[in-house]
């Protein structure tokens, strides 16, 4: 009986290792996000540009043969994006943006997004459009995000991004204070 259990465990382990081949790891999982901005001091007419960068924990495969996730020790893939789809994106400012957008108001309609589909090495033109028109919100992660408008003042503004995925995981990050001169 012990040999059968060991044989089943060994088979499961071999299948897990097989599933962990880098070529079969199109997704990644992450534990937090960071916001990378080009500049914190902008000219009056310049647009804020930032990238939502996931801090990747591991690369994962689709579940096969009864295995829900397989992990690899080191891979540079994950070209299909995060494993769990993003369900909600909220961008706010900690200070007033202008007369129409006060501190804490949702600013999603002020942002445009640019992202690439598929593998990095397989060139496809970038999708560009309004953040509110983004159908697959999974594409928000690692995308370039920029503002359509500038504030009506030169006081520093800190932007806050909130992301929730389909498993209920929540991620938050903030920019350093941004100033338009």
Distance CA 102, CA 172 (A): 20
164 to 33, 48, 124, 149: CA distances (angstroms): 11, 23, 27, 25
Kindly report which listed range (17-21, 53-57, 140-144, 171-175) carries the lowest average pLDDT score. 17-21
Distance CA 115, CA 14 (A): 36
**Domain extent at residue 79:** 2-180
pLDDT digits (tens, 9 = 90+) for 59-70: 777 655 444 444
Distance CA 85, CA 168 (A): 10
pTM of the prediction?
Answer: 0.72
Between 20 and 99, the higher pLDDT residue: 99
Give the angle 121-127-132 at the CA atoms, nearest 5°: 140
Q: Can you give the pLDDT at residue 170?
A: 92
Main-chain phi, psi angles of 62, to 5 degrees: -70, 150
pLDDT digits (tens, 9 = 90+) for 140-180: 777 788 898 999 888 999 999 998 888 899 999 999 999 99
Distance CA 13, CA 35 (A): 38
Whether 82 shows a pLDDT value over 90: the answer reads: no
Give the total number of structural domains in the chain: 1
Give the angle 85-174-146 at the CA atoms, nearest 5°: 70
How confident is the prediction for the chain on average, in pLDDT? 78
Distance CA 18, CA 35 (A): 35
């Amino acid at each position: 009986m012990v040999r059968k259990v060991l044989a089943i465990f060994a088979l499961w382990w071999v299948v897990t290792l097989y599933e962990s081949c880098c070529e079969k790891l199109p997704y990644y999982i992450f534990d937090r996000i960071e916001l990378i901005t080009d500049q914190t001091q902008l000219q009056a007419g310049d647009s804020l540009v930032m990238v939502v960068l996931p801090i990747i924990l591991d690369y994962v495969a689709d579940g096969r043969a009864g295995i829900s996730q397989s992990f690899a020790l080191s891979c540079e893939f994950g070209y299909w994006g995060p494993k769990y789809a993003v369900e909600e994106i909220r961008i706010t400012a900690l200070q007033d943006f202008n007369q129409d957008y006060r501190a804490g108001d949702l600013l999603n309609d002020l942002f445009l997004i640019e992202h690439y589909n598929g593998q990095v090495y397989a060139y496809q033109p970038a999708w560009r459009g309004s953040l509110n028109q983004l159908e697959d919100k999974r594409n928000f992660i690692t995308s370039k995000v920029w503002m359509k408008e500038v504030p009506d003042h030169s006081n520093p503004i800190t932007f806050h991004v909130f992301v929730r995925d389909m498993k209920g995981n929540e991620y938050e990050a903030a920019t350093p204070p941004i100033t338009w001169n």
